[in-house]
Each structure stands twice: as structure tokens, then as C-alpha cells.
Amino acid sequence: MSNYYSDSGPDFSKQVLEFGTIPAYSYDKGLAGELAAKTVSKKAALELYECMLIIREFEEMILKCRTGAYEIISDYSYRGPTHLSIGQEATAAGICGVLGTQDYITSTHRGHGESVAKGVIAINGMSPAELKARCPEFSDLSGQALRDAVMENHVYRTICELFGKEDGYGKGRGGGMHIADFRVGHLGANAIVGGGLPIATGAAMTARLEQETPRVVACFAGDGAYANGVVLEALNWAVQEQFTGEMAREPFGLPIIFCIVNNHYGMTGRAEDEVSGVDFLARRAAGFDMDMMHAEVVNGMDVLATRDAVLRAKELCLKGEGPILLEFDTYRYYGHSLSDPRNEYRTREEEARWKAVDPVDGFRAALLEAKVVTEKQIKNIEAKAAERNAKAARRAADSPDPDVADVIKYMYTDTSCDVVPADAAQVALYDEMPEVKRDAEGLVTYRDAIKEGLVEEMARDKRVVFFGEDVADYGGAFKLSKGLLETFGRDRVSNTPISEACICGTAVGMAMTGYRPVAELMYMDFTLMASDQIANQAGKWHYMVGGAVEVPLVYRVSVGGGKGYGGQHSQSLESVFCHIPGLRVVYPSNAYDAKGLFKTAVRDNNPVLFVEGQLLYNEKGFVPEEDYLIPFGEAKTIQEGTDVSIICWGPAVSDATIAAGQLAAEGVSAEVIDLRTLVPLDSEAIFASVRKTGRCVVVSQCIDIGSFTGEIVSQVVNECFDDLDAPPVKVGAKNGIAPQAHVLEKAFLPTADDIVQAAKGLI
């Protein structure tokens, strides 16, 4: 026990920390043993073999396509990624072979095999009614003909996605490196190495909260990923004591199986003997969990060894004893991609040693030796797999490309949660609702307006959860969430490790699997540590899967500029994220808007970056106690004017209002437009104002260079050129780094006087 828990005070006496053992290659049953013990049926064994065959045939098709050797589509020119997993079939088939349709997987850029396997296993387990529901076009079929047709459709849609076709699982938008099929629990392959682990961890958080549907998450990632920061963050996140210890209302570990598919090469570099200090990556588990995450090293070239390990891991997860870490020792026969000849960093002798234990050939021999099938029967199975793939490939090559008019279709969804499902509306409260104080005039601070919005949305919908650093007992760095823990409990309000990337990534996983997380990043500067999960994950999945999933989440980020916190705690970075398609970007300037826009953000089915100005937290305004929403994309006219338009957002609105007063004293009528949301942008409100006044000043607290103010000026020039009496101008922070010294920071940020001078310069 650590000194933290000692009742008698710190104990600094000499002691030794001990670690347990990790089993490796312990499987010794073999097919004959499994059949004798009735732990594997002949039918299941043949399905595993067929699954590996389908994967092998699919991958070899890609190889042949590059050289025109795949005869049935030799006329088709394939372009796209070629990350083959030939040699790794046993891991994909063995892991997915024990997962149900309700179980989730995430995969990698080399994830065709996992995608094929998840679909094949799911289809083999479907009833006739489920098969027809999946493919209504085959409703007139029955028996084996129905199953064969649905299986071919799975191969067809997988190839279509690889070929960038409209009939692909992601309508050709994501391609093979981002393939997903949410209908069978495949949450997506990920082209960012390690990018899927936080998403899988978030999906496991959903599974933990929804135990009435027992499910596990299997997270595939290669050996190269396990040197990646966000991967190690995800392991640390998954083992948190608050899931299983005294803090937990219902102790239950995250039901996730971290599957290290160790094919011994990251790209060309090796983990062992080169870029790692351990012989087995499973040793990583000792650094995260007292039980070492039940870690094990498995022969990944043996489909039955793989199946056995995952079956035991799944049982542990469903008993609440997860997470689990398994390292599958396997091999890829080809280079990182087909442009990599691999002869610069490995030998033919090495490849020959691994091919001698080929997973497909080895299991084929075992099936024949155990007399599960005859040679003739197994050849029929192999011929069928080849014919199915060829037929699907021809159809895919001939299938329609996406319509170029739809090039950015699915960038956003236009849906929102207008009605809460009945089960989600049953919200458990463990204490009285936190009260937001109003002063004698009924005014509320900006900070409390956001809090009231969050409380109302959490009371409305149990799928709304809130987490971040120090947000539970302490109430967050700015005390915005004080009292929420007592009301909603730790399952819905929780602290997190200091892991911004994992905070944002787990939110993506929860959003993909039915929840509506609100994640807090203490300072907007920290979004840069989490930018992959915000930009490449949250912002892109709806598009990359052709609208097959929505990602309803809110990232609350606060801007600390003006408080003397220096260069790493003061950046107004909303312009950066306006450049990332797929995200909504919201920045309210006052308490009334803060509550209404926040509630809209929670109900919107897109990922929303909700920016809060720390300088505004104590500003008061009138905020109705009743429920109200403010639509995105509707700017607000703060003050009417005729001589110049001042377009602004966030804290700059206060400065603009002051500037308008000063201008009025000098006889200049300024119109002030508060944009409220930058994405979507109310361009028409801007144009209408500029056409009326003929002059335009655009203001923000972002540094001037690269600011979103430049985008607005560009649009004004394009749309209102003939109405302008002077060139539009921008006002922003200096093109530098925010200083700590008060006098320097005052000079660094834009002021009302700066706005006045800019406006007068136009007139």
C-alpha cells in the first residue's frame, strides 16, 4: 500500500516493489484438443478458416491490382493506399471470432483484415431475419443462398470503399484506411497511428455505463503505436481506480481488450532491438495497473491460440475485471506499403522462417489432420472464396463513383437531439440540483449561465456526461462545475488524468456509441496537445463514413488572455479550428448567449468547440431560468449604425461596444455585429450590415496574422465590393506571443481605442 493510504503516516522504510509475471505462448490445446473438449465445433473451425481465406484473398487482390495481375479487373486502374496485412489473418479472425455483433472494434490503417473479419463473423451469426434486414434487396432468398448473397455484399462493399466508390461502407469518402461498419460494431480503421485507442477507450466507457447490454471493445493497434503518447494515455485512462475502487458507485473495470498486433515492424523500424527497451511490449502493462492488465503474449500466427486468449479476456471483461492487454506475435509478409520493397531492412531468410508457420496454411493442415474436412471439400471452400472476391471486385470496379457535386456532402449533419429517448430521459439524481445564484436584479454571471445550461442538459438527458481535469469534487479550475458531482454522481461527472488528447479522444468514442459527452480543457492552449483527436477524429468521422455515424460532443475550452498568464495560457485559437472542417466553433460574448448557445451545442449532433473567455466569466447579464436555445449561425446586432460596421466575437464585443460609444461622441454611427458562432458563419448578416454602412472593421483577440478576421474580410470584398467606400480592415492582437508582464499584455491585446482608430481611418 502506498504512503498516501497509510493511517500511521508516511512509511519510508526500505522496501522492494514487486511485479507479477506475464504468461507467454501458453496455449497448447490445438484443434484436436479443442474438438475433443467441445470448446470449438467443426462448424466454428471451418468458419474461422473461411474468414482467414476471405481476408487473404482480399489482400492478395490488392497486391495483384497494383501490377494488373488480378485478371478479372485488369482493365481497372486502382489508386490508393496499399497497406497489406498478409500473414496477420489469424489475429483478425481469431479476435473477431469470439466477438458478437454488439461488441465493438477499432482498427488501424492496415485494417482491411479486421473489417472483413468483423463482418464475416457477424454475418455467420445472423438469423435469416437479420440477414434480410441487413440487405433487404435479398428478401426473396433463403437458406444458404441468402447467407452467400449477404456475404458477397460485405466483400463487395469493402472493395468499393477501397476503390473509392459510392457503394462503399463510407461511400468512398474514407477509403480503406478509414473503413467502418457501425451496424456490426466496427467503429472505424484509423490512419493516425494509435489514433483509435482513445476512441476505443471511450466506447468502453459507454459499455461500462450500459451494462444491461453486455459488450466488450477490442482495440487493434500495431507495435509501432505502443510508443505513441496518446496510446500510453489511453492505457493509463482505462485502468483508473475510480472505475473499480471505493469511489465507484458500481465498481466495474472498463470492458476493453487492447490487442497489440505485433508484426515486428512499425514502418521499417523494429520495436525490439531498435526503438524499444523491452523484449515484449506486453511488459508495458506493468507500468499502469497493479494486476498488469492481465497481460499475456499470444502466438498470433495460430488462430486458435488467438481465439482462446480473447475468449478468456472477454470473460474477464464481462465480469468487470478489465481492461486486458494482449500482445499477438505475428508477421506481415510485405513492406509497410507496396512502395516499400522491404529488402533494405530484412532478409529473405527471416521471411521464410515466418512463412513456415503461415496461419492459413497451418490451420488448413490442422483441419485435414483432424478430419474436419476432406481435401476436396477444402478446395471447394477455397475456390468459393476466390470466386466470391472476384465477382465482388468486378462489380465494385464497374460500380458508380461518387457524384462530384457531393464532394463535401456529409461534412456536417443537420440533425439535433430535439426529443430525448424515453430511457435516456430517466435521469437519476443523488442530491438536489445545484442552484445558480441570481443577484437582486436577476442577473447571472457568464460562468454560472454556462453552468445552468450544463445542469439543465444533464437533467434532461442521462447520456450527457461531463469530464475533465479537476472538475468533480473541486468543481474545476474556475469552479464552474461545483456541485454537479453530488447531483449526478461520478459516472456522469468525473475527473480525468492530465491527458488532453485522451480527454478529447474518449469523448469521440462515447459520442460514436450513443452518449453526448461534454469534455473540458482547462485552457484553449491545451487544444494543441489534443489537436489530432479534435481535428482528425472528432471533426472527420461523420464525413469519412458517409454520414453513417454522428459525433455529438462538446469541447469546452477557455481563453485566458488578459490575465497575465503568458504565452502558454493566453492564446485565442478559435481561428485554427475554423480551418478544420467538420467542427462547429462557438464563442459567446455574454451570459444570455452563453447559456442558450451552450444548450444548443449539447443538443447538436456535430462536434462543437465551445470557446469561453475567462475575462467574461464574472460579467453579469439577464439569463432566463426557463429553457431556451439560440440557433447556430445567427449573428446578433448589438447596436444599429450607418457609417461603419464593426464585426466581432467573444471579448472583442465589449471593446467594440465601448468603441461605438466613443465614435458616437465624435459623430460616427457604428453598427456592432456579434457573430456568436464562427462555424457556421452568418455571412448574410455581415453583408447586409456592410452594404448599409459601406465600411467594415473586423475585430478579435486572435493574433492578427492568420486570424479568422481575414476570412471575413475576404468574403466582404468578394460579396460587397461595389458597396464599399473603403477597404475593410482587421484589428487583432499583435503578431507575437502573449507576454506575462501587465504593461506588455495590455499593449499586446486589441483595445477599444484601436477599434476607434481603425474606424476613423476608414472615414
In SS3 terms, 518-565 reads as: EEEECCHHHHHCCHHHHHHHHCCHHHHCCCCCCCCEEEEEEECCCCCC
Yes or no: say if 739 and 570 are a contact pair by the CB < 8 Å rule: no
Q: At what angle do helices 89-96 and 112-124 cross, to 10 degrees?
A: 40
Q: Which residue in 549, 548, 551, 550 sits closest to 157, CA to CA?
A: 548
For 129, residues 6+ apart whose C-beta sits below 8 A from its C-beta are none
Is the pLDDT at 412 greater than 70? The verdict is: yes
The average pLDDT across 87-100 equals 98
Q: Residue 450: enclosing H or E segment and its boundaries?
A: helix 446-460
Length of the chain: 763
Mean pLDDT of 289-302: 97
**pLDDT-derived band at 685, boundaries 50, 70, 90:** very high
Average pLDDT value over all residues in the chain: 96
Predicted local confidence at residue 273, as pLDDT = 85
Tens digit of each residue's pLDDT (9 = 90 or more) over 569-590: 999 999 999 999 999 999 999 9
Average pLDDT of span 343-348: 93
Spatial CA neighbour of 228 closest among 589, 478, 499: 499
Q: Is the pLDDT of residue 63 over 60?
A: yes
Look at residue 4 and tell me whether its pLDDT is greater than 80.
no
Nearest-10 Cα torsion for 686, 689, 691, 693: -130
Kindly state the average pLDDT of the residues 406-433.
Answer: 97
What is the pLDDT averaged over residues 529-557? 98
Close Cβ partners of 400 (under 8 Å, ≥ 6 residues apart): 165, 166, 167
DSSP 128-163: HHHHHHH-GGGTT--HHHHHHHHHHHHHHHHHHHHT
Name the DSSP class of 272.
Answer: I
Do 465 and 492 form a contact (C-beta atoms < 8 A)?
yes
Q: Give the cell for residue 253.
A: 473495470
Taking the C-alpha atoms of residue 42 and residue 373, their distance in angstroms, rounded to an integer, is 9
Lowest mean pLDDT of 266-270, 378-382, 422-426, name the range.
Answer: 266-270
Q: Which amino acid is residue 450, in one-letter code?
A: I
Indicate if the pLDDT at residue 442 is higher than 80. Answer: yes
**What radius of gyration do the chain's Cα atoms show?**
29
Distance from chain centroid for Cα 653: 33
- pLDDT at residue 1, as a whole number: 56
Helix/strand/coil for 68: coil
| Whole-number Å distance between alpha carbons of 137 and 421 | 30
Q: What is the mean pLDDT of residues 459-473?
A: 98
* pLDDT, position 426: 96
* pLDDT given at position 745: 93
CA-based angle 48:49:52, to the nearest 5?
90
Distance CA 642, CA 60 (A): 69
Burial of 547 (0-12, 13-18, 19+ CB in 10 A): middle
CA-based nearest residue to 613, from 566, 673, 671, 654: 654
Query: How many whole angstroms separate alpha carbon 562 and alpha carbon 739?
Result: 10
Percent of the chain with pLDDT over 70: 99
Give the pLDDT confidence of 517-526 residue by residue, as tens digits.
Answer: 999 999 999 9
pLDDT at 7: 76
Measured distance CA(749)–CA(286) in Å, rounded:
48
Distant-in-sequence, close-in-space partners of 96: CB < 8 Å, separation ≥ 6 = 51, 105, 114, 117, 118, 120, 121, 218
Catalytic site positions:
500, 569
Q: What is the pTM of this model?
A: 0.97
In angstroms, the CA 263 to CA 258 distance is 15
Cell numbers found for residue 718: 468578394
pLDDT at 252 over 90: yes
Cα–Cα distance measured from residue 443 to residue 437, given in angstroms and rounded to the nearest whole number: 8
Q: What's the mean pLDDT in 244-260?
A: 95
pLDDT given for residue 8 in this prediction: 80
What are the structural domains, with CATH classification, of the chain? 30-404 (3.40.50.970), 443-622 (3.40.50.970), 636-762 (3.40.50.920)
Read off the C-alpha cell for 752.
477599444
Check residue 81 and give its pLDDT. Answer: 83
Is residue 57 predicted with pLDDT exceeding 80?
yes
Task: Report whether 301 contacts 90 (CB < 8 A).
Answer: yes
Which are the contacts of 611, defined by CB distance < 8 A and separation ≥ 6? 524, 557, 558, 559, 572, 574, 585, 586, 587, 650
Nearest residue to 181 (alpha-carbon basis) of 158, 199, 163, 198: 158
Q: How far apart are CA 220 and CA 114, in angstroms?
A: 8
The SS3 of residue 758 is: helix
Pairwise CA distance, residues 487 & 559, whole Å: 28
Beta bridge partners of 107: 189
With 70 as the cut, is the pLDDT of residue 5 above it?
no
Give 299-336 pLDDT, tens digit per residue.
999 999 999 999 999 999 999 999 999 999 999 999 99
CA distance 13 to 685: 71
Examine the pLDDT at 2 and tell me if it is beyond 90: no
DSSP state of 647: E
Q: Could you tell me which of 277, 290, 281 has the C-alpha nearest to residue 325?
A: 281
Pairwise CA distance, residues 145 & 150, whole Å: 9
| pLDDT for the residue numbered 677 | 98
Q: Which three cell numbers stand for residue 499?
A: 491527458
| Rounded Cα distance, 678 and 464, in Å | 24
Grid coordinates in use for 110?
A: 492496415
pLDDT band at residue 271 under the 50/70/90 scheme: confident
Report the run of H or E that residue 577 belongs to, with start and end.
Answer: helix 574-578
Region for residue 671 given its phi and psi (left: phi exceeds 0; alpha: psi -120 to 50; beta: otherwise):
beta
